[in-house]
Amino acid sequence: MDACGGSYTPEQRRKYYISGPQWAAAYEGHALFHAPTRSPISFETVIEEYGKIGIPCWATHDTDVIPSDQLGKDGQHEIVARIKKSLADNGLRCSMVTTETFHHAVFASSPASESPEIRKYAKWRVCNTVDIGHELGAEFAVYWPGSLGYQIQGAVEETQTLRWYAESLNAACEHDIAVASKLGRPTLKHCMEAKPFEPQAEILLPTSDAMLGFIASGLLTHPEMVGLNPEYLHELMWGGAPRAALARALTSGKLWHFDINDGYRLKHDVDIAVGLVNPLDWLNVLILLRSHGYNGPFNLDYKPPRTTSAFGVFKVSFPTAVDRFITLWEMAGEVMQDPIISEASSALRAGAGCESNDPTEIFEANKELLSLHELIGHRLVQILLGVHRGRVYSV
Ligand code: GCO
Ligand code: MN
Ligand code: MN
């Protein structure tokens, strides 16, 4: 690691709004075809290790830390008190809480099941998470709808299921308004997260755009309290351009929280560390976010590979992900100041000054200018590779 270079100090890392999820560090390497390769670890260890690295925030699902049978009971209060102490002891804060409405058998038919008792339970779960969020001082609540969809067509009526799903979000927002006013705290920012292909065969809200439509559908009683938590890889998975998906969220004023990771198009959710597959695309994403003043969290929602040891999770996976993010973020700032890109962009925006309305004349007047598109792309890669600073190879 020392030989690799490019690392920042914990103090430098803490200047960025980066959060480390409990489930990411505690991931044991298991999946349908995979036995675990790492042993369970406690939230105390995760928080302590994040603190040493310099990750300033922590996020969790309710059941990452509280067993299902303890939710809403004394066990929950004891655990939340231990979390608070652990965060305070290690100089972290809780930025986000999220409800697991996908893993437990009760959610096999989704949190918006036909069964009223399952829906009642799902509503209680999201309201209980709002309580946990306020107790831990969180700003955000995230909702990944998980099994909102079906394996077999026919039984699930899509419009009704979406109405029922909206009822859970409405319950969470209404409960939040009551709790926040009692505590004198701001309400949480409720953020929906889409994933296109898992865990159902068909997903009712598969993309961030589908969720924007859902938020604006009239089904929510408090659409102003609900925004998005896009995940980079989830937008890439369906074949979209993550940067364009983020741009659509930005123009709707709904880009509130962002899960950062990497992976491949049209594949399953591999949750690889940010910038490890598509660093150029990531640079472009961060240029967009920096130039629009995005100031929400960057949540390290990725899974350390199965081949990495428990030691490696905190010595290799998390520090390298954080440092690559910081490098790309700072590089995005460099691009925004770059005299060549600025000059090329201004020239493109000024146009050729052609007075004619004849398309051929307009094209002729602009065609040299339009070469600047490629020049800007070339310059971005030079910056990414350090070539603009004179890095050369002997041949
Ligand atoms: C995934 C999902 C989850 C969610 C989490 C928050 O990749 O499986 O993104 O990690 O982010 O469930 O609700
Ligand atoms: Mn995610
Ligand atoms: Mn994912």
β strands within 8-92, DSSP E: 18-21, 57-61
Which pLDDT value is given to residue 301? Answer: 98
Backbone phi and psi for residue 377, each to the nearest 5 degrees, phi listed first:
-60, -45
Letter for the amino acid at 282? Answer: W
Is-contact 208 215, C-beta < 8 A?
no
Query: For ligand 1, is residue 193 a contact (CB within 6 Å)?
Result: yes
Which pLDDT value is given to residue 395? Answer: 77
Query: For ligand 1, is residue 262 a contact (CB within 6 Å)?
Result: no
Is-contact 58 96, C-beta < 8 A?
no
Q: What is the residue with the minimal CA distance to atom 4 of ligand 1?
A: 144
List Cβ neighbours of 14 (8 Å cut-off, separation of 6 or more).
54, 55, 56
User: Cα-Cα-Cα-Cα dihedral of 53, 143, 68, 151, to 10°?
Assistant: -120
Print burial letters for 265-293: b (CB count within 10 Å at least 16), e (below 16). Answer: eeeebebbbbbebbbebbbbbbbbbeeee
In a 3-state reduction of DSSP, which class is residue 44? Answer: helix
Which fold is adopted by the domain 10-336?
TIM Barrel (3.20.20)
Strand partners of residue 93: 57
Q: List the domain boundaries for the chain.
A: 10-336, 339-389
Of the listed ligands, the closest to the CA of 144 is 1
Which pLDDT value is given to residue 5? Answer: 85
> For residue 290, what are the CA distances in angstroms to 194, 248, 253, 335, 380?
23, 15, 15, 10, 15
Q: What is the residue with the minimal CA distance to atom 6 of ligand 1?
A: 144
Which pLDDT value is given to residue 392? Answer: 86
Query: For ligand 1, is residue 258 a contact (CB within 6 Å)?
Result: no
Which pLDDT value is given to residue 393? Answer: 85
User: What's this model's pTM, rounded to 2 decimal places?
Assistant: 0.97
β strands within the chain, DSSP E: 18-21, 57-61, 93-98, 140-143, 149-150, 189-192, 202-203, 226-228, 258-259, 298-299
Which pLDDT value is given to residue 72? Answer: 98
In a 3-state reduction of DSSP, which class is residue 149? Answer: strand
Q: What is the residue with the minimal CA distance to atom 12 of ligand 1?
A: 144
Query: For ligand 1, is residue 271 a contact (CB within 6 Å)?
Result: yes
pLDDT tens track, the chain, 395 positions: 889 888 999 999 999 999 999 999 999 999 999 999 999 999 999 999 999 999 999 999 999 999 999 999 999 999 999 999 999 999 999 999 999 999 999 999 999 999 999 999 999 999 999 999 999 999 999 999 999 999 999 999 999 999 999 999 999 999 999 999 999 999 999 999 999 999 999 999 999 999 999 999 999 999 999 999 999 999 999 999 999 999 999 999 999 999 999 999 999 999 999 999 999 999 999 999 999 999 999 999 999 999 999 999 999 999 999 999 999 999 999 999 999 999 999 999 999 999 999 999 999 999 999 999 999 999 999 999 999 998 888 87
List the structure tokens of 137: 């001082």
Query: For ligand 1, is residue 231 a contact (CB within 6 Å)?
Result: yes
Q: What is the residue with the minimal CA distance to atom 8 of ligand 1?
A: 269
